[in-house]
Amino acid sequence: MPKTILIADDNEAVRTILRLSLQFKGYKLIEVDDGAQALAVLKDTPVDLLISDIAMPNMTGLELLDKLRADAGGGAHKQLPIIICSAESDAKRDNIIARGATDFVAKPYRPLEMLEVIAKIFRQG
């Protein structure tokens, strides 16, 4: 059974690169534009991993992270692996992990680096 990964990023070019990279490894993908849409998908779709950008319209990646780690969906997503990505120079890896993210990847990232992080999470999970 292939793992399902939810991608939240408002930049179409970034999503395309992720899509091509992840599909190559056989993952199943769902793509959304922002945090609010991601929350809607998570409500009724089982997902194994979330990859989210920070700066997005409507709901940022950090707001999404907070909601999931609090009790959105009755606490069902407290354990969901979440990778936060950002191009912001003030996004600090340690702070974001302390806030509840499973891992942090700075943008722009190499696809191989991202695949490595994903594989590591799934090995541990």
Partner 1 sequence: MPKMMKTGIEGLDRVLCGGLLHHNSVLVKGAPGCGKTTLGIQTVYNGAVMFDEPGVIVLFEQFPQQLYRDLMSYDWDIEKLVRENKLRVIFSSPDQVVAPDKMRESPLVSQIHDAAMEIGAIRILIDSITHILNLASDTRHAREMLLRFINALKSIGLTPIMTAEAENRLGAIGIDEYLCDCVLLLSSEASKDKTFHVRELTIRKTRGHDHLRGRHLFKLSRAGIEVFPLTQAHVSEDIAGERAAGKLEKLSSGISGLDDLLGGGYPRGTSTIITGMPGTFKTTLAAQFAVKGAEPGDKSLIISFTEHPEFFAALMEEKGLRVRAMAREGRLKVWHFTPKESYIEELLYRLEAEMDGNGITRLVVDGINEIERSIEAPEAYKDVISTFLSACASRGVTSLFTQKMDQFTGHSPLTDIRYASMFDGIVYLGTIEIESSVHKVVSVLKMRGSNYSNDLREIVCDNTGIKVLSKFIGLSGVLSGNAQGQYKKNIEELFQPLYFIRDFLEILSTTEMAPDERDAVVQNLRGETNKLVDKLKIHFDVKS
Contacts with partner 1 by CB under 8 A lie at: 11, 13-14, 16-17, 20-21, 24, 55, 87-88, 107-112
Rounded to a whole number of angstroms, the minimum distance from the CB of residue 11 to partner 1 is 6
- Closer CB to partner 1, residue 99 or residue 107? 107
- Closer CB to partner 1, residue 71 or residue 88? 88
- The span from the CA of 64 to the CA of 68, in Å, is 6
The partner residues of 103 in beta bridges, in order of sequence, read 83
Rounded to a whole number of angstroms, the minimum distance from the CB of residue 94 to partner 1 is 21
Rounded to a whole number of angstroms, the minimum distance from the CB of residue 98 to partner 1 is 23
The partner residues of 111 in beta bridges, in order of sequence, read none
Q: How far lies 37's CA from each of 15, 70, 111, 124, in Å?
A: 15, 17, 24, 28
- Closer CB to partner 1, residue 69 or residue 107? 107
Question: 18, 43 in Cβ contact below 8 A?
Answer: no
